[in-house]
Amino acid sequence: MGTQPQVSDPQVSPEVAAAIAEGRAVVALESTILAHGLPPGRNREVAARVEQVVRDAGAVPATIAVLDGRPVVGLDDRQLDRVCDPAAGLVKLSRRDLGPAIALGRDGATTVAGTASIAARAGVGVFATGGLGGVHRGAADSWDVSADLGVLAETPVLVVCSGVKSVLDIGATLELLETSSVPVLGYRTDRFPAFYLRESEFDVPWRVDDPKQAAAAVAAHRAYAPGQAGVLLANPVPVEFEMDRELHDRLLADGLRLLAERDVRGKDVTPVLLEHFHAASGGVSLDTNEQLVLSNAKLAAEVAVELTR
């Protein structure tokens, strides 16, 4: 066997590295939502606000991306500018894309799957985002199932999100999470949230009512599924920012039609749908999206703080 080329460790910012070394709370944040989920301008504002919310709750934010082929944990202001600049042309990186992107020295924004993999390697166990990827409608024909699900099953990271979008097959997504032994915790809810809406028609298997309970469940699960213990904490969008159901249903129907008409596939499906929601709702969906991300970041920080006790 020949010698293997050296693969470098992630570049961890000094602030994040110090927090990890001292056992203080750190919250990982993804960059696909910035580069491909929110429009230019707004994305940079959201990036700053989300980090501030994490700080206000007593944790250190670590936004993650791959820049010049180097996974970066804890982007600085200039790196955040770059991720949020459409002219920088970042590609979307799921876990399967990390190897090639690193090897070829590329720039990319990481999905939940990509971010969780890098976070775990850096020793960060709590992660906040907007929505998790899932099983797409019609997956029986298209086989379109987000890698987020498989990665969560194998990666010891808590993902705090507002459930999955109703553009997905929520029932099938929950079934796959059950098969994968990923605990799904509803935060102060008995129903699994549907991103823009506080409730889907599906129940959560477990409910927790404060960050302490959530942290205890994560710690106990980690002890019994070491090394592969992803957990999902599903936090509904704050009630005052929930989308009107009629508007939601109309956007959804139009969005699904658009996908079929344009024959959109693969990694483009989620960004195209998001863009449709933002454009067709005149920005209403953007406010909902921003507020749920802020709420998830705050909760993730609170749970991360509990986990350090």
Q: Does 165 bind ligand PSU (CB under 6 A)?
A: yes
- Residue 239's SS3 state is helix
**Nearer Cβ to ligand PSU, position 165 or 221?**
165
Out of 165, 242, 302, 306, the active site residue is: 165
CB of 164 to Mn ion, least distance (A): 12
Q: Does 148 bind ligand PSU (CB under 6 A)?
A: yes
Distance separating alpha carbons of residues 106 and 102, to the nearest angstrom? 6
Position closest to ligand PSU via CB: 131
From residue 40, how far is each of 16, 33, 81, 275 by CA, in Å?
Answer: 26, 11, 10, 12
- Give the single-character DSSP code of 159: E
Active site residue 165: yes
**Nearer Cβ to Mn ion, position 36 or 191?**
36
Q: Report the phi/psi class of residue 21: left, alpha or beta, with left for phi > 0 and alpha for psi in -120 to 50.
A: alpha
Distance separating alpha carbons of residues 236 and 188, to the nearest angstrom? 8
CB of 94 to Mn ion, least distance (A): 8
> Which tokens is 180 given?
């994968």
Q: Does 37 bind ligand PSU (CB under 6 A)?
A: yes
> Which tokens is 154 given?
């194998």
Q: Does 146 carry a binding-site annotation?
A: yes
Q: Does 272 carry a binding-site annotation?
A: no
> Which tokens is 201 given?
């028609």
**Nearer Cβ to Mn ion, position 30 or 144?**
144
**Nearer Cβ to Mn ion, position 114 or 211?**
114
Q: Does 33 bind ligand PSU (CB under 6 A)?
A: yes
Return the residue of 144, 154, 302, 306 that touches Mn ion, per CB under 5 A: 144
Give the residue numbers annotated as catalytic, written as ranges: 30, 165
